[in-house]
Amino acid sequence: MAAIDVSIITKQNQRLAIKLALVAALMFGFGYALAPFYASFCQFLGIDRANASLTQAGSALRVEFDVNVAADLPVTMQALDGVQVAQAGGQVKARFVLRNESDQPVYLRAVPSFAPVRAAGVLQKLECFCFNAMSLAGNEQREVTVVLLVAKSLPAEMGAATLSYSLQAIPAFTHKVRES
């Protein structure tokens, strides 16, 4: 039986401990540098839509409109005015086209959301098709609008905002309407 040299095992354990400490330090450094690296990467690719450089800071806001339709809803919706430039204190009007692709009536509701969330404090909906539930007859096409009031002073760091609508079916509403 061969004798185990304790000094060799101790040196191997020390080397392993140093390597593990180095890996931990690299992981910590990577995590610390990830946020600025991600911001630079997005700016390089041009996918940072909230970048204030897209508009003149504090005087105008780029407003984009987006639509998502639930998978089980036979409706299409398209923003006719997908991008608007909103002036401080002004109004923005955007139009959308809704189309029922089925022969049956559908009942739906549009649920709005802002991105970034703080844009909700800058853009106030004066008129919106999302205020009430809607019904569309079979194969009906309708144009709907939203009118936004822009705050008198815009934050300098906010250059763009997105107003997104999610169209969802309303089964309870459908049941109520069918009973009456």
Give 139 or 44, the one with higher predicted confidence. 139
**Checking phi first, is residue 80 left (phi over 0); if not, alpha (psi -120 to 50) or beta?**
alpha
Closest CA to 62 of 80, 78, 81: 81
- At position 100, the amino acid (one-letter code) is N
Categorize the per-residue pLDDT at 178 as very low, low, confident or very high, splitting at 50, 70 and 90: very low
Contact 96, 67 (CB under 8 A): yes
Portion of the chain with pLDDT greater than 90, in percent: 49
Q: In this structure, which CATH number among 3.30.230.10, 2.120.10.30, 2.60.370.10, 3.40.50.300 belongs to the domain 60-169?
A: 2.60.370.10
What is the per-residue pLDDT for 179? 40
Query: Lowest mean pLDDT: which of 1-5, 55-59, 92-96, 146-150?
Result: 55-59
Q: Which residues contact 12 (CB under 8 A, 6 or more apart)?
A: none
What is the Cα–Cα distance from 44 to 51, expressed in whole angstroms? 12
Beta-bridged to residue 160, according to DSSP, are 62
What is the Cα–Cα distance from 152 to 150, expressed in whole angstroms? 6
What is the per-residue pLDDT for 49? 54
Question: pTM above 0.85?
Answer: no
